[in-house]
């Protein structure tokens, strides 16, 4: 749970938190059913407002990454992709090809997003 939030970054604080939790879940650092820190608690430790943390949690809930219940807290959703080895290999290949083509990160992710949306 060693997340870092950069208040001076170009990305909104809640979006940074969404990204970090998303990656932690995808990489298996947080497992299905595992409990996340309470919003007030995490807000205190990251020096954020509770509402900012809850906004991130609610976006992650809308995305099916976590489940939220009052009194109980936030936990990683039960249904998570099990096997990501094929995805990880595909990403490694893509990064390699993009590097060789001198493609920027922005253009690469734009192309991926376009391809996913079809």
Partner DNA sequence: AGCTTGTTCTAGTAGTCGTAGAACAAATAT
Partner DNA sequence: ATATTTGTTCTACGACTACTAGAACAAGCT
Instruction: Give the binding site for DNA (CB under 7 A).
Output: 7, 12-15, 36, 38-41, 47-52, 54, 57-58, 61, 68-74
Q: Which does 8 bind (CB under 5 to 8 A by kind): DNA, a second copy, none?
A: none
Q: Quick check: 19 binds a second copy (CB under 8 A)?
A: yes
Round to whole Å and give the CA distance between 108 and 3. Answer: 26
Task: Give the DSSP H or E segment for 67.
Answer: strand 66-69
Q: Quick check: 9 binds a second copy (CB under 8 A)?
A: no
Pick one of 6, 10, 70, 115: the residue that binds a second copy (CB under 8 A). 115
What mask, x for binding a second copy by CB under 8 A, covers residues 72 to 101? ---------xxxx-xxxxxxxxxxxxx-xx
Which segments of the chain does DSSP mark as H helices, in order? 13-26, 39-46, 50-62, 85-100, 105-116
């Amino acid at each position: 749970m060693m997340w870092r939030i950069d208040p001076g970054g170009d990305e909104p604080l809640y979006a940074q938190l969404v990204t970090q939790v998303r990656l932690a879940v995808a990489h298996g650092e947080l497992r299905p059913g595992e409990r996340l820190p309470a919003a007030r608690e995490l807000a205190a430790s990251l020096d954020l407002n509770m509402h900012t943390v809850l906004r991130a949690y609610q976006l992650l809930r809308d995305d099916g990454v976590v489940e939220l219940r009052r009194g109980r807290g936030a936990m990683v959703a039960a249904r998570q992709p099990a096997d990501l080895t094929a995805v990880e290999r595909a990403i490694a290949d893509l990064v390699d090809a993009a590097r060789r083509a001198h493609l920027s990160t922005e253009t690469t992710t734009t192309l991926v997003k376009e391809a996913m949306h079809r």
